[in-house]
Structure 1
Amino acid sequence: MAGIQVPKQPVQSEQKPLQSSSKDYIREVLKMYEKDPNYDDAYKEFTELLTAKDCGMLTHGPVVSFKEEKVTDEQREYKPKLAGILLAGCKEKVKNSSLAWIEYIDLVKKHKKATIIKETNESSGQVEGETTQETKESDFVDSQSGKEQETAQEKAVPPGGKKEKVEKAQPLKLFNLLGKEVNKDSEEFEEAHQDLIHMFTCHEVLASSFPQVDILRHVTVNIDKPDDVPIFMRERALFRYLGNLKPETYENHFHDIWREYGTYLLAENLLDLARKAKGPDRNIYVIVEKRAFYDLQSELQKKTEEADELSTRLSRFASQQLTEGNPNIADLSDIHRPTRLGEMYSQLFDDEWSEAFEALKPNMKKGEEEDDEDELYPNILTLLHSILEESFTFCKEKSTEQLQKLENKIKEGLKVNSVAETTATHSEEKMDVDQSPSRGKDDKMEEEPSQTQSMLDQTVERHSKELRKAASVETARIQTQVFMKEKLPGLLSDEKIRQDSRVVSYVTKCVELCWYMCMQDPPMELAVPKKGDPMDKNLFSFHGRKGKMVSCCVWAALLLHKDGPLVCKGYVLPEERSKKK
């Protein structure tokens, strides 16, 4: 890039003013491809595009570096011959080829818009004059009159001899800076120049579109240096041009130049929002104040939370209606649902039961014979199962007792309130009631309390079960402590064995799991065969050996409810088959 000559003296009047007239970049590129076989077709397509040039103000848009991957199939196929030559120029880096491609994209958009409006007007029978008027009003920027556009261009290019007047009307720093460029024919300068004209035009259109409010006075520009410009905006031609200049070029106006550049960027973004709010897609976009936006966002979040809460409550209610007293439908939100308890029950036998079994082995009585049968340790098997069975019986009794207490307490509280209300109601009705009521009314009054009492009992029972289950995690710990203190010494007389960590872990898990089983509605059940019963392979598996008759139960089978379907298989030790002599 050619250097910048910064004279120490003020700029003389003989310096040529910066030209802002739009050039036909497409025409310039086409001249370089006159010998191309597709030139005639391409030029014809270019002429067709020019028919829509008046469909709004011609603007090249933001000037950025050409990238082939951003070219769409629609852009390639809309005017294929013309697009092919322009893309070839961009690949070969022909002068102003990037600007020519940007101009092509702009003309394509305007040609599509003009075609749609023309077809619409022809179908509705409107005259050509009305079509032109609607075309001008179809875009937010195009609503500006030709006079306003000329005024904006005159402001963008300060004419000679009126320097003071122009300086008061608009900021001239960036235009003056580009006016000092020696090599104005370079492609880099041309792209930066067109980018500045586009940004300045957006600034002026935004200001003229909202004359009652100066929008840019109510916003803060936080750009004082190149590093403050967002990364996704650094591909702009003007940014690259300014970034390549040395700081001394700015003549002590470094921050002012970049603040002006930031103002233009902001104006361009605001204008884009205004187009979306007032253009054809105004039903999709809307512009609101920041405070109002935050208020709406907070209100939306509040309403969303309320809707989620109501949805959760409704789902919980529906789930309760389905799962209440129906074990065949599982509540997936319940971490202690039957299927999950079945998994925990199986895991208890694999882990804690095995550890407790190993802990009890060394404590066998020395007097016992150690034959083949003793290798299976039937006494230990019976002892471990008795702990499980006793835990389940204990939890079943305690859970029933707890439910009864809860129901009595709730009914007692409701009874106190209902007595007070009944007394007040009775005293009021006594004044209006006939001294000799009919017998039919007495029968009806006797039936109503019984129905009310039945509904009350059902409600109390349902909520008592819900309360009991909600507190089951805490109450399970309490019941475990009670069992260890009251029941375990009768099962394990040796205190040393009772204090073994492996035995303690097994007993704790047994009580907690049995407690959760009893919290189900209806409660789950353990199936325990007796000695001498025939082997039921549907409920139990063999432990150690095979046989037809049960010697002892090693691990009870878990049922969904009494006489219900199987949740987890158990294990039994069958009787040893008699050996043939």
Structure 2
Amino acid sequence: MDAHGQKKLLSIADVFKAFGKKVDGNHYQKAHKQYRTLSDHARYLAKSDKQTHDALKSYYEENEQIYPACLSDDQKQICLPLYDFLCSAGTVFDLTNVWPTYVFLVEVYNRQRTILRKNDPHLNKSGDYISNILQCMKTGMEEEILKTANTEYLNLLGDERQMKRNPDLAREKELWVLNGDVAAQKFLDNIEYMDKALYRTIKEAMLRNVEGSQIAWCQYGSLLHSSELLKRDEQQMARRSEKGITDLQEQCEELERQNAIKSREIEELSKRLCEVDKLKVTENSSNADVNDSDEVNDIGKKFSDVYNNEWAKLFDSLKSEIEDETARIEKLCGCLLMAFKFCKEESEKQMNNLQVATTDVLSFRSTQNEENEEVGGQNHSVALSQEACVHLQKLRKQCYSLSLPKVRRMFRESCTSLTTTNEAILRDFEAYLTRCVDTCWYMCIQDPPLNIKIPEKGDTVDTKQFNLYKSEGDIVDVCVWPALLLGGGDSTGIVCQGQVLTKLSKTN
């Protein structure tokens, strides 16, 4: 900061960056457009007359003057929106190093306009000279040629109007005109135009010394240049469109490849489910519930949906907060693991409470004191039969929705929230945690409960339990999504395969 407490800016570009948001958009656009025009002219002068360019630049950089007070009315008015913009910025920032650049750009622009007026190029003269030539050449020229020439002329006028609607092309045209009639003549030397009807008509008019034919000739060259600018721009747009189509085709191919992988995964999952359906669990009759193929399919679908929907959405939205992909994967997998551990512990507590409460109700025990009085102070525990426990398990599953709201609240109270001010990310995070809790709770109240498998980093990948996530290798690097398993969790009890990020082993 300088003595006046203002930050010193070094260039006009810096002013637009630092002050652009403090003015209305229309004022900003007009000022910036003028700045680009002035810069184009300066670059043109540096290319065509470097000695003059360097001399002007040195003069305005080294000549100490009190800006902007010393500026002439012409220097202010020629680019008034840009001048006003800099004056407004000057109330906030120190523009000591900026004003000389502004004056230099304005003087370059003035110099080139002066040269243009001095040369008085034909292509800058107003008047429909080409149309007059076409009228004059009705005598001595074939009617068909004149008709074709007139059509060519109208098409060129249309191209020029369309070209001028593009600000970038209009600025390029403005710089081209600085070369005057020389530029037009060089353009007309192109052999591809010599067979054109309009070319032949104006050329014939020049041979006959028709008044205005020389001006029409140069203006014709200017129209051809405008048409070529437009044609070049359309070709560039076409190439961009072709590239866009190519990119879309590549994306389609990638989606087809991913779809083929998913189809193989679905086929593999169907085989696994068929194997699950054939399992004979003999430990107790409650096992039949979880081994029912419809029940297993429903749980596996819920578990997969969390990964394909809420996980995928949160993974993408978290990119703005956590750029590292591995860190995001670990964050999301950790949330699922917390939800599963919480649901497992609470489901065990709930089942134990159900057994105790049922025993108390059936034995007419309401308080500990009553029990002690009835049994002479002895604390007797009445155990439920295995069959009764099976009925309690079924009852709990049927009343699954009653416990779910409380389970969600308890988990959110015990879970550390994501630290972010992005409301969209918070919504995605809440949706992901809710689905994790809902699904894990449903898994844990099965009899026996379903389990998840998270491999350790460095383990060899079990391809029966895990698919590879965007990688190739045989060593686990990071678990992306756990496998869902039945009971003990051997490979024959796989309900849903997980996803792992892998790396190649050193031997490979």
TM-score normalised by structure 2 residue count: 0.39
Which of structures 1 and 2 has the bigger CA Rg? 1
TM-score normalised by structure 1 residue count: 0.34
Higher helix share: 2
